[in-house]
Amino acid sequence: MTSVTLEQTRRGFSLAEYVTCLNGIVWREALRFLHQRERFVSALVRPLVWLFIFAAGLRQVLGISIIPPYETYILYEVYIAPGLMAMIQLFNGMQSSLSMVYDREMGNMRTLLVSPLPRWYLLFCKLLAGTAVSLLQVYAFLLIAWFWDIAPPPIGYLTVLPALILSGLMLGALGMLISSGIKQLENFAGVMNFVIFPMFFASSALYPLWRVKESSPLLYYVCELNPFTHATELIRFALYGAFDPVAATVVTGTTVLFFLLAVIGYDPQRGLIRRAAVA
């Protein structure tokens, strides 16, 4: 580190320098997303399969009664749409963390983390970039779902944006936390399956929790403790112009917790990277 860099670190960085760093990381993530078109397609295929095939088959089996925020009876595909939006963000968070593991193996992550800027800020920029990509994917899904007669109130497309940002940050921070403890790229696929599928299926994404409680009280409490459930409900309420304070509180608190643990995990002095290197 040069004397100029040391002096700059002592006196701190200007707002313009922080913004330049943010722009660089976001732009790099955007270029990677544009060059990986199959990533965009695969992000839409999974929820569309659930929407077009599974929902059509289960429509008559799983009728949905009038529950908040809905004011009338709804079709099953309308109910699962918010959960599928959250699923897109969950997979995107895991994909972003996969890219971090890859960058760490290739040495690109080392270049980023040795920057004189605070490590937490660099990771937060990476988190914001991944969340921005997930927003593009979710709104593309909503556009396709509109042709399938899933049309929330027009204002819902705006009111859901803060909920999507918050849920995207939470799921991205979870992926970042997981990536901090993985040494090899080959181990990531198993960890992804261990995290994604339990979080998705043990939630309110596919069925109301009151139905789960009728069949299995234990599974109901597991779903209640699942942060993905609260992310789904936050999106569901916001999509219809309502607000769920419990879901917002849980998602916000979980986001902060996951991100702080990820920052510690990426700290070479005390985090998971250091312990992995010693081992």
* Residue in 279, 232, 269, 93 with CA at minimum distance from that of residue 176: 93
- pTM, two decimals, is 0.86
Helices 76-106 and 37-49, axial angle in degrees (round to 10): 150
Q: How confident is the model at residue 107 (pLDDT cuts 50, 70, 90)?
A: low
- Residue 9, in any domain of the structure: no
If one counts every other C-beta atom within 10 angstroms of the C-beta of residue 30, the result is: 14
Window from 34-48, 94-108, 166-180 with minimum mean pLDDT: 94-108
* Distance in angstroms (rounded) separating the CA atoms of residues 234 and 251: 8
Domain that holds residue 153: 53-278
| pLDDT tens digits, 117-132 | 888 888 898 899 889 9
- Residue 93, in any domain of the structure: yes
Number of domains in the chain: 1
- Looking at residue 63, its pLDDT comes to 57
- Residue 46, in any domain of the structure: no
- Residue 95, in any domain of the structure: yes
- Residue 47, in any domain of the structure: no
- Residue 154, in any domain of the structure: yes
* Region class of 61: left (phi > 0), else alpha (psi between -120 and 50), else beta: alpha
- Residue 35, in any domain of the structure: no
- Residue 44, in any domain of the structure: no
pLDDT over threshold 60, residue 3? no
